Homo-oligomer: A and B are copies of this chain.
Amino acid sequence: MAQKPNIPKGTRDFGPIEMARRNYIFSTIRSVFALYGFQQIETPSMELMSTLMGKYGEEGDKLLFRIQNSGEKAAEAPEKGLRYDLTVPFARYIVQHREEIQFPFKRYQIQPVWRADRPQKGRYREFYQCDVDVIGTDSLVSELELIQIVEEVYRRLGIRVCLHLNNRKILAGIAEVIGAPDKIIDITVAIDKLDKIGIENVNKELAERGLTDEAIAKLQPILALEGSNAQKLETIGEILSENEVGTKGVEETRTILELAQDLTLPIELDLTLARGLNYYTGAIFEVKALDVAIGSITGGGRYDNLTGIFGLPNVSGVGISFGADRIYDVLTELNLYPASMLESTQVLFAAFGDAELRYALGWAKTLREQGLRVEVYPEPAKMKKQMGYADAKQIPFVAIVGGNEMESNTVMLKNMLTGEQQQLTLDQLCKTLQSNLTK
Q: Do residues B7 and A19 form an inter-chain contact, with CB atoms below 8 A?
A: no
How many copies the complex holds: the figure is: 2
Is A216 in the interface zone, CB < 8 Å from B?
no
Q: Do residues B8 and A48 form an inter-chain contact, with CB atoms below 8 A?
A: yes
Given contacts A19-B40, A44-B11, A62-B71, contact A34 B378 (CB under 8 A): no
Q: Do residues B344 and A379 form an inter-chain contact, with CB atoms below 8 A?
A: no
Across the interface, which residues of B come within 8 angstroms of A97, CB to CB?
A: 13, 15
Q: Do residues A67 and B69 form an inter-chain contact, with CB atoms below 8 A?
A: no
Is A383 in the interface zone, CB < 8 Å from B?
no
Across the interface, which residues of B come within 8 angstroms of A373, CB to CB?
A: 34-37
Is A408 in the interface zone, CB < 8 Å from B?
no
Distance of A80 from chain B, by nearest CB (Å): 5
Is A43 in the interface zone, CB < 8 Å from B?
yes
Find the residue from A82, A343, A348 having the highest chain B CB count within 10 A. Answer: A343
Across the interface, which residues of B come within 8 angstroms of A7, CB to CB?
A: 43-44, 47-48, 51, 92, 96
**Contact-residue size bin, chain A (C-beta under 8 Å from the other chain):** 35 or more
A104 to B43, CA, bound (A): 36
Interface hits, A101-130 → B, CB 8 Å:
102, 104, 106-107, 112, 114, 116, 126
A141 to B360, CA, bound (A): 11
Q: Do residues A96 and B13 form an inter-chain contact, with CB atoms below 8 A?
A: yes
Is A357 in the interface zone, CB < 8 Å from B?
yes
Q: Do residues B70 and A67 form an inter-chain contact, with CB atoms below 8 A?
A: no
Distance of A282 from chain B, by nearest CB (Å): 14
Is A23 in the interface zone, CB < 8 Å from B?
yes
A21 to B335, CA, bound (A): 34
Interface hits, A11-30 → B, CB 8 Å:
11-16, 19-20, 23
Q: Do residues B262 and A311 form an inter-chain contact, with CB atoms below 8 A?
A: no
Is A95 in the interface zone, CB < 8 Å from B?
yes
Is A93 in the interface zone, CB < 8 Å from B?
yes
> Which residues of A are in contact with B by a Cβ distance under 8 Å?
1-9, 11-16, 19-20, 23, 34-37, 39-48, 50-51, 61-72, 77-78, 80, 82, 92-93, 95-97, 100, 102, 104, 106-107, 112, 114, 116, 126, 134, 137, 139, 141-142, 144-145, 148, 152, 259, 262, 310-312, 343-345, 348, 357-358, 361-362, 365, 368, 371-376, 378-379, 389, 392-393, 395
